[in-house]
Amino acid sequence: MNRLKVMVNGMPGNVAASIAKHILTDERFELVRHSLTGPDITAMEFLIDETPVQLVKPDSRDDTRDATRDAAIEKIKETEGPFITVDFTLPVAVNDNAAFYCRHELPFVMGTTGGDRVMLEQTVRNSLISAVIAPNMAKQIVGFQAMMEYAAENFPGLFGGYSLEIRESHQKTKVDTSGTAKAMVNYFNKLGVRFTENDIIKIRDPKIQQKQWKIPEKYINGHAWHTYTLDAPDKTAQFSFSHNINGRDIYSWGTFDAILFLQKKIETQTKGNVFTMIDVLKGS
């Protein structure tokens, strides 16, 4: 069985590094030893255990101003052959990266949150590639969201009059509000609650996380805790849903399923399609 080549972009970021590390030990995959990184990264390479990965900055990955320039990505494609790209970079880079992948016909799995999501999907649909795009790669959380979506569609107004509190906690390096929490707002609104994304309580303070939330110290720099609490108008009933993730391994396993799913679509010459993790769960 030939190993499927995967390029993980976003190193030295923690999620990207964690996924790349698991790829190195998974017999189904082979890691492309290059990673697109941000303009502020000064290092030329990043070590995963003892494996060096060359970091490619935006100013050298391609040059749209000069078609004759032998850009870094074209050299990588020539050396590696076909591969699937995984993106765990920063919200500010989402749309630019997607345009880059489409321009160079690089099928990708986008786990990065933020950016203009409508533009993101349209960019893929106007291209010659397909992609898996999801704000959360944890299969179990995606399944939970699907259950909430089912409830929202089939029992509209179920929690009419109830008040809602959404609290989410991530490591302090996560600059944006949780994409999962924002997605849940839509479901709860359909269930009859009045709530906006701006009402989400976002915790990034390590002291609060450890002392008040009781998040284990070893996971302060890598966790995703969410709690959704609904209170009846007279406070006689309360419903609470939580999903607390420590570490980043759960995102690796979901990403791997997304990679394998996308590869099957590539083999059927599927182009210009945007898939979600729900598609991956059904297809797996």
Query: How far, in Å, CA of 139 to CA of 133, rounded?
Result: 13
The contacts of residue 223 (CB under 8 Å, 6+ apart) are: 169, 170, 171, 209, 215, 244, 245, 246, 247
| Catalytic residue status for 174 | yes
Catalytic residue among 139, 170, 223, 265: 170
In terms of Cβ atoms closer than 10 Å to its own Cβ (0-12, 13-18, 19+), residue 127 is: buried
Which among 22, 34, 174, 190 is annotated as catalytic?
Answer: 174
Q: What is the DSSP letter of 3?
A: P
Using CA atoms, how far apart are residues 177 and 264, in angstroms rounded to an integer? 32
Ranges assigned E (strand) in 3-142: 4-9, 29-31, 34-36, 45-48, 51-56, 84-87, 108-110, 131-133
Secondary element (H or E) of residue 240: strand 238-246
Identify the DSSP state of 92: G
Two structure tokens written together for 194:
């009045």
SS (HEC) of 172-233: CCCCCCCHHHHHHHHHHHHCCCCCCHHHCEEECCHHHHHHCCCCCHHHCCCEEEEEEEEECC
Cross-strand pairs, 55: 35
**Active site members:** 170, 174
